[in-house]
Amino acid sequence: MLTKRKLDKPKKGKSSRQIRRECENCEKKIYITVYDDGHYKGGHFFGKIDIPKKDTGKYKIIGKQKLPSGEKIDVVEWTGQDETIEYWECNDCYEEKMHVYWLRDKIEELYGNRCADHETDCPCCQAWDVYDTLIKEARTK
């Protein structure tokens, strides 16, 4: 059961309101304090996005796309209606992603992109193996 949280005390001359949203990653309920001047705290807002509305259509194949690996994949189009959602993340998910992106960027900077063919003696492949292990470990917690 969710309980109502007290609003943070607004700064002098500013009023605020509390909104409840769900993290798009972990589905945890988050409580955001929104101030009259538009700033907020308690979560991270990435904008509104349109997503396919369930049970209003299907995906129709409209073509093929060749990937850099040479594999061909289907290109699809949604035939149904869309719904607009607000994309929010909780502070924990946001911080985790920031660390993951930093680590990925640092490995690319120091070792380069992943090799096309994995070799156990290659320092680049070893660095990416460590990255994969850390990400897998973090996601199983």
* 141 lies in some domain: yes
In a domain, 96, yes or no: yes
User: Which DSSP helix (H) or strand (E) runs through 28?
Assistant: none
SS3 percent helix, strand, coil of the chain, rounded to 5, is 25, 35, 40
Residue 30 lies in a domain: no
- Name the pLDDT band for 1 (thresholds 50, 70, 90): very low
Q: What is the pLDDT of residues 18-77, one digit of tens each?
A: 999 999 989 999 999 999 888 899 999 999 999 999 999 999 999 999 988 889 999 999
Q: Which two tokens stand for residue 47?
A: 């904008």
Domain that holds residue 114: 91-141
In a domain, 138, yes or no: yes
11 DSSP 8-state letter? P
Contact 46, 89 (CB under 8 A): yes
pLDDT in tens, 76-133: 999 999 999 999 999 998 988 888 889 999 999 999 999 989 898 999 999 999 999 9
- 65 forms beta bridges with 73
- Domain membership of residue 33 (yes or no) is no
3-state SS of 79-122 is CCCEEEEEEEECHHHHHHHHHHHHHHHHHHHHHCCCCCCCCCCC
The answer to whether residue 40 sits within a structural domain is: no
Domains of the chain: total: 1
Q: For residue 106, what pLDDT is reported?
A: 93
